[in-house]
Structure 1
Amino acid sequence: MDRLGSTPPRTPGELKQEILRVYNAVNQGIAGVGVSRQRVDLLDDRILILAQHQRVKALATLDPAHRDITRNVDVALLDEGKRRLAQELTDRIGLPVRVVLKDYDPNTEIAATVVVLDAPLVLTESRRPQ
């Protein structure tokens, strides 16, 4: 962020890479392991992240017999992940995050995250080598 509190323009590719690093770091902090695949799409004032996660081993073990319990833990982990992601995107990248919405399917281990911003993204054209 600059001294006026706004984010400097960056290319879409640069911003996507920053978002991927933050998203992976947040997941490492919560689950102890990063995601195995992730993709970011930038859509005006929204960011869409699709990621292949690795299920927390203890939860995967309990799922067949105790899905009611693991569902509650999943929701708690999702809530904490959304809180941390919003904070990190604001602090480390300077994005004006309004809300983070996230869902996770334990069977496929795929998560979809939508970050809604207070303002549209300010991006520059892709830089070309000279």
Structure 2
Amino acid sequence: MDRSGSTPPRTPGDLKQEILRVYNAVNQGIAGVGVSRQRVDLLEDRILILAKHQRVKALATLDSAHRNITREVDVALLDEGKRRLAQEFKDKIGLPVLVVLKDYDPDTEIAATVVVLDAPLVLTESRRHP
């Protein structure tokens, strides 16, 4: 972040790569494994991340017989992931995060994350390679 409190300009591709690295690292820290697929879309003051996660094996084992318990654990893991992601986006990327919203479907192992920022993203045009 620069002295004005805004993020320095960067290309959309550079920012997406930074976001993907941080998102994957946060998931590795929580689940012990990274995501198998992820996609980032940048939308003015919002970031949308769709990712294919690997279900925590212990939770997958208990889902059919104890979904009420695994649902509570899923929500607790989502809450911790949102807290860590917001902090890492602020600290490592310098993004002015207002809130992180996230949902996860255990059947498809797909998560959708929306990061709402305090200010629009400041981006430069993509670099062209000769």
Q: Deviations over 1:17-67 (max 9, x none)?
A: 000000000000000000000000000000000000000000000000000
Aligned to 1:39: 39
CA distance in 1, matches of 2:106, 2:6: 38
- Contact 2:7 2:121 survives alignment (8 Å): no
Shift of 1:129: 2.1
CA distance in 2, matches of 1:44, 1:7: 13
Aligned to 1:96: 96
Structure 2 segments unaligned to the other structure (5+ residues): none
Aligned to 2:112: 112
CA distance in 2, matches of 1:33, 1:13: 24
Aligned-pair identity in percent equals 89
Aligned to 1:15: 15
Structure 1 segments unaligned to the other structure (5+ residues): none
| TM-score of the pair, normalised by structure 2 | 0.98
Shift of 1:102: 0.2
CA distance in 1, matches of 2:29, 2:35: 11
More displaced, 65-74 or 6-15?
6-15
Over the residues paired in the alignment, what is the CA RMSD in angstroms?
A: 0.8
Shift of 1:109: 0.1
